[in-house]
Structures are given as C-alpha cells and as structure tokens.
Amino acid sequence: MEKKYHHGDLKNELINISFEFIQKEGIENLTLKMLATETGTTSSAIYKHFKSKDDLVQTLIRIGLNKFDKYITAVFEAEDKNLLERFFLSGKYYIRFASDNANLYQLLFGTHFTHLKHEIISTTSNEWVGFELLKATIEEGHNSEVFKEDDSYQQAIVIWSSLHGLSLLLLNKFIDMEQADILYENMYETLLVGMLNEHGRSLYKG
C-alpha cells in the first residue's frame, strides 16, 4: 500500500495514519518504524514529533477521549429531547461508540497503557466532559424530582461502570453484538427503577 504524502504537517499525518491503523489492527501492532514506512519518511523525522511510542500513544488517547466526549456531548445537549430521552440515548450512544470504534475504545478504557492514562488524568484539571454532563443530567433529575435525591457522582460511576461492562462483554464476544440493543434496554430499565421517585415513575410510564 503505497501512498504519497506531502509533509506540510507530518505530525497530523502520523496521528491520522495511527488512528486508521488502530481501527483495523489495534494498538499493539503500531510501531514508529511502520509509520516511517507508511509516510515515506525517516524514523529521525518522526522522533522530532514523538520521542517514543508511549509519547505517540498518549497523544492518541487524549485525542480519542476528545472524540468520545464530542460524540456523547451531542446527546446530552440535544435541546429537542427531554431528560429521560437524553438519559436513555446517552447510554445507547456510549455502546454504539464502543462497537463502532472497538480498538479505539479498548485503547481508551482497556488495560493497555494504564500508566499513560493515569498520567493524563493526573495532569487534567477537569473531568471528562461526557462524565460531567452525565452527572449534570442526574442532578437535573434530582432538581426536577424525577430521580431520587442521592450522590450524583456515585450514581454516575454506577451507570458508567454498567455501560463499560456491557461494552466490553460485547466487544470481547462474550455476548453476541446482535443482542446489544435489547440488553441495553433491559439494563437501562433496571438502573432507572432504582433512580426514579414516584413522580419520575409516572413520567416514565407515560
């Protein structure tokens, strides 16, 4: 696969090629040598932008988290959807992102390169936007008396853990991907039963 690259912006070319490679092959097989071959440049040229594979991967994780955040944020900020619709769709979109970007999702939230993720978290002052919006949506439910009053952070962690667990079971083929929608709907109802107060239950049934 020979491609001609015009290296006006080699760094972005390297990042884009890396994401394309990860989508097909996964992060484990990505090497700086392969990138040099793909871009028709030298390893020394790549080292001017990334001092190691870890340095490149850390950049990919940061950009990947931003892509994930933008994808989820669009659901939470949908003005034409009510609270319960946004709550439901946020989880559905979470699982869709994971299934459509399996290798990227594994890079962002899997067990590889955990030292880099810890470093990113420790140097980032804000929580990921998607998580903050999930927490804000839960608090909106508290304020509108749809959800029972509780610790919004703890509730958000429980929801995220559930979505992450289902996503990994699907990606690792412990569960058939064709069952994703029905399993998510069942999980959503189970979580919602524990969160809704009497007013919320009447809205949900309506």
The CATH class of the 66-205 domain is: mainly alpha
Residue 149 gets which letter from DSSP?
A: P
CB count within 10 Å of CB 159 equals 23
Q: How many residues does the chain have?
A: 206
Please tell me the CATH code under which domain 1-51 is placed.
1.10.10.60
C-alpha distance across the termini of the chain, in Å: 56
What CA–CA distances, in Å, run from 42 to 77, 83, 150, 159?
44, 52, 56, 46
User: What is the rounded distance in angstroms from the CA atom of residue 204 to the CA atom of residue 156?
Assistant: 20
Place of tokens 């659901």: 75
The model's pLDDT over 127-169, given as tens digits with 9 standing for 90+, comes to 567 889 999 999 999 999 999 999 999 999 999 999 999 999 9
Where residue 38 falls among pLDDT bands split at 50, 70, 90? confident
Q: ∠ at Cα 109 (148, 59), nearest 5°?
A: 125
The model's pLDDT over 79-133, given as tens digits with 9 standing for 90+, comes to 999 999 999 999 999 999 999 999 999 999 988 888 887 777 766 545 567 889 9
Tokens for 52, please give them: 């190691």
* Mean pLDDT, rounded, of the chain: 88
pLDDT at residue 1, as a whole number = 41
- Residue spans of the domains in the chain: they are 1-51, 66-205
8 Å CB contact between 13 and 5: yes
pLDDT at 5 over 80: no
pLDDT at residue 24, as a whole number = 92
Which residue type sits at 67? K
pLDDT at residue 2, as a whole number = 47
pLDDT at residue 170, as a whole number = 95
pLDDT at 15 over 90: yes
pLDDT at 6 over 60: no
pLDDT, average across residues 23-42: 89
Place of tokens 């991967």: 57
All residues at 6 or more sequence positions from 24 whose CB lies less than 8 Å from its CB, including other chains: 103
Q: What are phi and psi of 40, to 5 degrees?
A: 65, 35
